[in-house]
A and B are shown apart, each in its own frame.
Chain A
Amino acid sequence: AQSVTQLGSHVSVSEGALVLLRCNYSSSVPPYLFWYVQYPNQGLQLLLKYTTGATLVKGINGFEAEFKKSETSFHLTKPSAHMSDAAEYFCAVSDRGGSQGNLIFGKGTKLSVKP
C-alpha cells in the first residue's frame, strides 16, 4: 500500500531563508506525487506535481520539488521564504494508473516564517 511520511509537523524559518519541507513515500510502483498548500481558513491548493519526465518540478510561488527514486523522497524547497508562505503543506501520493485513483496524504507540515 502507498504511504506518505512528512518529517516535522512544524518548521520555522526566517524571512529570506531557505525553505525545506521533507516528504518520503512508500510505494510498490513509481507513484504520482503532489504537494498541496493550505492557507489559513482556506481549502487545499495544488503547488506542484510529479507524474513522469523531469524529476525536478517547478510549481507556483517559487516552490520546487525533486523526485528521488533511490531515496523515495519528494522534498519541497524554496530558496527564499516570504511571509506569505506561512501555511500548512501536504505531500500526497497517488497510485500510478490505479483504478481507484485516490490520493494518500501526509499529516502535514505547518510552516512559520519569522520577520
Chain B
Amino acid sequence: DADVTQTPRNRITKTGKRIMLECSQTKGHDRMYWYRQDPGLGLRLIYYSFDVKDINKGEISDGYSVSRQAQAKFSLSLESAIPNQTALYFCATSDLSAGGKYNEQFFGPGTRLTVL
C-alpha cells in the first residue's frame, strides 16, 4: 500500500462549487504539505502543517483552506472553485527526524482537478 494517498485522483467540477481534496499518510510523519503543479511553473506551496495545531500559509494560499484532522490526515478545500484553480495537486509529508532536518519530502500520487 502507498504511504501517502490522495483522494480523489481525478475530479471535474463547476465554477462556484466547494471541493475537498483529501490526503492520508501511514508514514507517521508530523509535517504535511499541499502543493499545486501547473505546466511550466513547477510546484508551488499552498499550505503546510508541522503538527495538528500548526497550520501555515504557503506561497499561494488565497482561495484555499486546509484542515489537519489528525496527524495522518490533511485536507485541502476550495470554498468556491474557479477555472484558474485547474491544476494537479500534490500532498507531501516529512518528519522531524534526521530525514526531516533536511526536509526530504515524500509525495502522494496527485489529484487532477478541472474546474469548468
Contact assessment for B100 and A101 in the assembled complex, using a CB-CB cutoff below 8 Å:
yes
Complex: chain A residue closest to B108, CB-CB? A43
Shortest CB–CB separation between residue B59 and chain A, in angstroms?
A: 9
Number of B residues, CB within 8 Å of A: 26
CB contact between B107 and one of A45, A94, A100, A108 (< 8 Å): that residue = A45
Within 8 A of B (CB), among A42-95: 42-46, 49, 51, 90, 94-95
With contacts A43-B90, A90-B42, A101-B94 taken as known, whether A49 is within 8 angstroms of B107 at the C-beta atoms is no
Contact assessment for A107 and B104 in the assembled complex, using a CB-CB cutoff below 8 Å:
no
Shortest CB–CB separation between residue B55 and chain A, in angstroms?
A: 13
Check if A102 is an interface residue, CB within 8 A of chain B. Answer: yes
With contacts A32-B102, A94-B102 taken as known, whether A102 is within 8 angstroms of B45 at the C-beta atoms is yes
CA distance A77 to B48 in the complex (A): 31
Within 8 A of A (CB), among B82-116: 90, 92, 94, 100-110
Contact assessment for B90 and A44 in the assembled complex, using a CB-CB cutoff below 8 Å:
yes
Residues of B within 8 A of A46 (CB): 104-106
Residues of B within 8 A of A90 (CB): 42-43
Contact assessment for B41 and A107 in the assembled complex, using a CB-CB cutoff below 8 Å:
yes
Shortest CB–CB separation between residue B88 and chain A, in angstroms?
A: 9
Check if B29 is an interface residue, CB within 8 A of chain A. Answer: no
Across the A-B interface, the 9 shortest Cβ-Cβ residue pairs:
A43-B107, A94-B103, A107-B42, A44-B107, A101-B103, A105-B43, A105-B42, A43-B109, A32-B102
Q: Which residues of B contact A (CB under 8 A)?
A: 4, 31, 33, 40-45, 48, 56, 58, 90, 92, 94, 100-110
Q: Assuming A36-B107, A95-B103, what are 11 further A-B pairs, CB within 8 angstroms?
A: A42-B110, A43-B4, A43-B109, A44-B43, A44-B92, A46-B104, A49-B104, A94-B103, A100-B48, A102-B33, A105-B42
Q: Which residues of A contact B (CB under 8 A)?
A: 9, 32, 34, 36, 42-46, 49, 51, 90, 94-95, 97, 100-103, 105-108
